[in-house]
Amino acid sequence: MERVSLTDNEPSEAADGVHLALLAGTDSMNVQHFEIEPDAVVEEHSHPHEQTGFICEGEVTFLVDDEEIVCGPGDSYAIPGDQPHAAENRGDETVRGVDIFSPPRENPSWQE
């Protein structure tokens, strides 16, 4: 069994105002904590990993297939692998939540 605390890993800044921290994982999946500051944007991207997540605080707007999907505290979501998607924090509160990726994913950088 692996135990990883949020304080064990220094978050990386994948994009301006978007902070990610890898948590526990196996050969099949891993958990990642995220924070998205107000007005921060995760540009459209895709990846082969299936992605599910849960919002703990704040409200994030996902943009998928020309549709806007708003998720707030207590909401979960699932994004199939290779599905183009983007995310924006249009509110005044930092969004905090967790994502699970299968297969496991390293911290990405969209700033390149």
pLDDT of residue 12: 92
pLDDT of residue 112: 52
Between the CA of residue 54 and those of 3, 78, 84, what are the distances in Å?
19, 9, 19
Give CA–CA dist 37/39, Å, rounded. Answer: 6
Has residue 64 got a pLDDT over 60? Answer: yes
Single pTM value for the model: 0.93
Closest CA to 9 of 81, 112, 75, 106: 106
Between the CA of residue 30 and those of 41, 60, 66, 72, 76, what are the distances in Å?
23, 21, 28, 22, 16
pLDDT in tens, 79-107: 999 999 999 999 999 999 999 999 999 87
In sequence order, which residues have a C-beta less than 8 Å from that of residue 67 and are 6 or more positions away?
none
Kindly report the average pLDDT of the chain as a whole number: 94
Question: Once rounded to an integer, what is the mean pLDDT over residues 20-32?
Answer: 95
pLDDT in tens, 27-40: 999 999 999 999 99
